[in-house]
Chain A
Amino acid sequence: MKLRALRVREVGCFSDAVAVEGLSGGFDVLAGRNEAGKSTLFRALETLFAESYKTESQKLRDVLTPYSGGAPLIEAEVEVEGQAWRYRKQYFSGRMAELQGAGTLHRNADAEARMSELLGGAAHTALLWVGQGDALVHAPPAEAGRDLLMAAISQEVVASAGGRRGEVVRRAAEAELEALVTLKQQRPRGPHKAARDRLTALEQSLSEADAACVNAEAHMQTLARLRDEAALLGAPATAAARQEQLVHLVRQLADDDRLAADIAAATERRDHLMVQAAQAEEAHRRFNLVMEDHARLGREIAEATVAGERLAADSEALRTRAGQSAARLVQARAEEQRLSEAVVEAGRRAEAERLWARIKEGEAARDKRDALASGLAGNLMTPLILDRVEAEVRAVALLEDRIKAAAPVVEVTIEKHATAPVLVDGKMLDASTSFRPVAPLTFAIPGVAAIRVLPPIDAGEDLAADVEAHLQTLTGLLDLAGVDAIATARKAARERAEAERAIAGLEARLLALVPEGIEAARRTLAAMPQSATSPMPGSSLDALGNQLGRAKSATAASAAEEAAALAALNAASTRKAVEEARLDERRGSLAKLAAELPSNDTRGARLDELKSRAGQLKAKTTEATETVAVLSRRRLATPERQRLAAQRAEIAAEVERIGRRLRDIERETARLDGLIERDGEAATGPERDRLRDEVERARREVARFETEVAGLTLLEKTLGEVAALGTSAYLKPVLERIAPHLAGLLDAPSLALSGNLGLASIDRRGRAEPGDRLSAGTREQIAVLVRLAYGDILAASGRPIPLVLDDALVYSDDERLVKMLAILKKASHHHQVILLSCRTRVMAEAGFRPLELRPWRLS
């Protein structure tokens, strides 16, 4: 096919009808500036051959329709095998298709079908369109186009009838496989997955039903065992024997229990009788005692009456003796009083004598103290003043030491034969001397020199001033004490201290002798009675003291005698009162006892009666005790009773245990029946049958799918392996056509294509360079070369179609562009090449005319 003209109206940037006429059918270059409409024309041409006039594609509508709107109209004049055809389509509004030529006019679908037929297959036109940027992508040919191309290649390489059917079958197998599993990971999908899921669910259900069945079987075995056990435990004969034995034991023990109750009653009666007998005995004893007490009290009252009379006589005698003792006591006390007063008088006199002596000694001490005190009046050197004097002396000495230390050392050495003297502050120095001047000092050698030594001004002056101040203070202090030298001051201080110590001793003595003071003591002495200060008449104080002691002893003896007499009287009175009280008490008790006792004439009979009752009750008690002993002998021995009770408990426990076990079994069997009923629902009947059938069916279905998947996978793999072997053969025609251009254009001896004709790599400088790593220009050039090869193959197969390139070489440098243009021109000898290019200058230099658009007058 060759394109001779292209016309458009209301397409893209062309609202008006324009046309590109006069295409050569060989190498047609349409060079124009950007936005001249080249790509619009490219799309229009592609749409005309690739898109049905009936398309509703919104994307195409957006691309094709001008902004101002309209119904895109495209027309091409083509030549197929020498026959001219006019092919026109209008899209969207007023859609239609027309094909006119060879005296025929085809419309709409018929027109498209006829054009497809003329071109050898509708889809092949997708093969050789290279839009802007498409070359960079270098996608393999579209599937349908690839088929056509491969068919053409097959014509060259294989003449067999099979050709590439293997690829068709492989793709069909792949499509079927993809419907059943994911191609990458072979995971089930679609009906295959649904079948597997269904099988899994069913197997789960069946598994549960089987488990329920196993459970039910286990439950049934347990149930049977339990029922056997229940039958054994509940066997009537065994139960009756056990019951009979139990009844016998219960009866035996009940009889013994009744006997025990009888014994208890007899024991109680016996105990009651024993109490009654004891009470009767006690009544008899008490009655006897009361009678004895009554008699004894009568006797005691008589004796007490006699004793009372004797006590009254004794009291009277004692009272008399007490009166005599009291009189003697009064006399002794008077003597004692007299002697006491004499002793007091003698004491006062002695006191006055001692006071007088103290007054005398005190007055002597006072006089001596006063004499010492008057001596101190002229000594003003107090310890305080002395302390301050000593402090000032120490300060002056310290300051002088410091001044001395700060003074320079000036050593003057007098030569042995010195001819001139050395004067120090005008005084001649006799011998070598060392100075530490603390004030300016002038050394002079008459007729030679005068040397003035100045000590450090700051220290020396300040310290000297301080010394002066301290000396003034010291002088003031000595003046204050009335001394003129420090040694005198120190001596005066020692004398003053000694006088003060002597005065203090005298004052202490004075205070000890007359604390109240001498005058007060004299006043005390003066206040004393005259008798005290006058000489003592008669006996001495000691003798009086002795007489007073004897008088006090006599008084004490008289007082003791009187007290003893009074005590004896009191004791006698008390005893008499006690005896009288006891007598009254006995009389009361006697009256009480007399009230308790019957009359005298019946007392004996009563005593006999009480004695008789006590005897009767004792006899009954003996009888009751015998009864208890008899009954006790009839009771079961304790070990025997324990044995019987243990046996009864054992049997009763056994009965209870069996009853409990039977109840447990009953409950367990009911529970198991319930479980079996529940599990049986799933495990039996139609549900399990249905599940088995369903699982079996699902398994078969899954197995079918698996077999199918395995078959399809193997088939696809086998066909792929076979195809891989043939690929190199199929690629050979393409590679052979590209090879002549590779060396000159890319400096690469060969390139590799993938099995589906995509670019794999080029071989350059002995190294394979992957297609996607090549530069944009190189990829672009290879893509064009590959398409040229396709075009050549198709032309060789008798179906030449144009190669249309829309700015497909924009990345090529000028040198390669020129080479590519030469290659394209050469290719155009076999099939038409249409190049739409924006590189107007290069194209003009290459001799190509610019794109020329003419108005299109629609017929």
Chain B
Amino acid sequence: MFRFIHTADWQIGKAFGSFPAEKQGVLWDARLSAPDRIAEAARAQGAADVLVAGDVFDSEALPARQVTHLIERLRAHDGLTWHLLPGNHDPDRPGGIYERLVRGGLPRNVRLCRQAEAVTLAPGVALLPSPLKARAQTADPTAWMREAATPPGTLRIGLAHGTVQGFGSSSEAAARIDPAIAGTAGLAYLALGDWHGTKEVAGNVWYCGTPEPDRYLGNESGQVLAVTVGEGKDGITVTPVLTRRFAWVSATVAPRAGQDIDYLELKLAQTGAPDRLLARITLEGQAPLAAHGAILAQLAKLEERLFHLELEREAFGVQPLADDLAALGPGSDLAEAAERLVALKADGSRSAERALEILFRLAAGSGP
């Protein structure tokens, strides 16, 4: 039996350019501190080895300071051994980041998987890593595992980075991996990285996802896998362990009243603490003028509570009531214009919907 942590796609140094500067720093720091939470999970799960299936760094051109910060964090967890595999974001190229790491000196508990050769993790347990040597390496990096020789009875654990679906999918490397390699190469487990969500490709072939999410994908990211091989009925157990600091949530709602936003907020709260929540809310439908304003005001308040709120409200229109029109002044030019726009809106004109909303906004500012 051998237990280890399967993680990948740390992408240390990833920039969050679309966020305000203060939020960028927080998100960047959340990724940099992910190894601490992984270490905590490993200790909790009784694992001494952490296999990182590629993309440790977001790019090969990271400032030395960021690289040093990571290595020092790994060094601090001296009870754990970190096995770092080059991925498509940080391929092991001449003069690349891994060469720099070696030149700078590595802690004893950090091992770089730079060669496609079997290494011993523990007695009777061998790691077969498949480092990527180029960003767009095309050949199946795991092909060599079929021929890799290990002593009889050895538990063979594959470690690779690439796609099992096809080139061009989101966040995928060019390297295509034949998932059948687990069987043909006699692997007890194949730890894959690249896809940022958690995915069971086969019973013993898994994507673990990134330990700290970075997109609104809803693909079970923000966790690592605690894997035990050589025990149980199937010889393998895989247990997801949450490691994320921030939750990224997206939702689409069609509110009619403030209560709908209350419910939404309740659902969001179940995902995580508001100050560690990034939400993309898409509003749809229509609401009466007063409710429309109230909903937007409520969301504005919610934005203050959340770490980040990305609001899509283009499809959320005003449905004025008779009182709303009366408030413009019976017989006034504004009322006449509003009535015309309501008629157009009833015919499905999106422009009329937006014009109506603007009319009420500007009328509110013009005063009677």
Contacts and interface: CB of A to CB of B under 8 A. Distances in A.
A173 interface: yes
B333 A700 contact: no
Contacts of B138: 219-220, 223, 672-673, 676
Interface in B329-352: 329-337, 340-341, 344, 349-352
Interface in B167-194: 167-168, 170-174, 176
Given A162-B328, A164-B333, A689 B171 contact: yes
A684 B88 contact: yes
B362 A718 contact: no
Contacts of A169: 334, 359, 362-363, 366
A693 interface: yes
Contacts of B20: none
A661 to B, nearest CB: 20
A685 B173 contact: yes
Contacts of A281: none
A681 B88 CA distance: 9
B341 A710 contact: no
Interface in A684-708: 684-686, 689-690, 692-694, 697, 700, 703-704, 707-708
Contacts of B270: none
How many residues of B sit at the interface, in one of the four size bands? 35 or more
A160 B332 contact: yes
A680 B349 CA distance: 44
Interface in B129-143: 134-138
A686 B314 contact: no
Contacts of A676: 136, 138, 174
Nearest to A223: B138
A729 to B, nearest CB: 11
Given A679-B136, A684-B173, A686-B59, A707 B354 contact: yes
A715 B359 contact: yes
Contacts of A176: 358, 362
Contacts of A718: 337, 340-341, 355
A126 B350 CA distance: 42
Interface string A708-730: 10111111001101110110000
Contacts of A160: 329-332
Given A165-B363, A173-B358, A718-B355, A707 B314 contact: yes
B92 to A, nearest CB: 14
B89 interface: yes
A852 interface: no
B354 A708 contact: yes
A223 B139 CA distance: 9
A216 B363 CA distance: 56
A703 to B, nearest CB: 6
B366 A172 contact: yes
A689 to B, nearest CB: 6
Contacts of A703: 314
Contacts of A680: 88, 134-136, 174
Contacts of B173: 684-685
A712 B314 contact: no
A163 interface: yes
A652 B156 CA distance: 46
B49 interface: no
A213 interface: yes
A165 B174 contact: no
B79 to A, nearest CB: 32
Contacts of B174: 216, 220, 676, 680, 683-684
B310 to A, nearest CB: 9
A692 to B, nearest CB: 7
Nearest to A680: B136
Interface in A391-443: none
Contacts of B152: none
A313 interface: no
B17 interface: yes
Given A160-B330, A704-B314, A715-B337, A165 B135 contact: no
Contacts of A217: 167-168
A711 B351 contact: yes
Contact of B354 (A673, A697, A710): A710
Contacts of A163: 329, 332
Interface string B87-116: 011000000000000000000000000000
Contacts of A725: 336
A206 to B, nearest CB: 12
B58 interface: yes
B123 interface: no
B18 A715 contact: no
A487 B330 CA distance: 161
Contacts of A300: none
A710 B353 CA distance: 10
A730 to B, nearest CB: 10
A574 B138 CA distance: 115
B169 to A, nearest CB: 10
B260 interface: no
B89 A686 contact: yes
A162 B334 contact: yes
B325 to A, nearest CB: 11
Contacts of A213: 167-168
B212 interface: no
Q: Which of A160, A167, A223, A690 has the most C-beta atoms of chain B within 10 angstroms of its own C-beta?
A: A160
A689 B210 CA distance: 15
Contact of A161 (B136, B176, B368): B368
B368 A165 contact: yes
A347 B86 CA distance: 151
Contacts of A654: none
A219 B332 CA distance: 68
B14 interface: yes
A162 B18 CA distance: 44
A210 B349 CA distance: 35
Contacts of A686: 11, 14, 58-59, 89
A436 B341 CA distance: 138
A714 B329 contact: no
B312 interface: yes
A231 B14 CA distance: 41
Contacts of B330: 160, 162
Contact of B350 (A173, A710, A723): A710
21 contacts: A160-B332, A161-B329, A162-B331, A165-B328, A167-B333, A220-B138, A672-B138, A673-B138, A677-B136, A679-B136, A680-B88, A680-B134, A681-B135, A683-B174, A685-B171, A686-B14, A689-B215, A693-B215, A707-B314, A708-B358, A719-B359
What are the 8 closest A-B residue pairs judged by CB atoms, nearest first? A680-B136, A162-B332, A162-B329, A711-B354, A166-B333, A710-B351, A715-B355, A714-B355
Given A168-B366, A689-B215, A714-B349, 15 more contacts: A158-B331, A166-B334, A172-B366, A176-B362, A213-B168, A217-B168, A684-B135, A686-B11, A689-B171, A707-B350, A708-B358, A712-B355, A714-B351, A718-B340, A719-B337
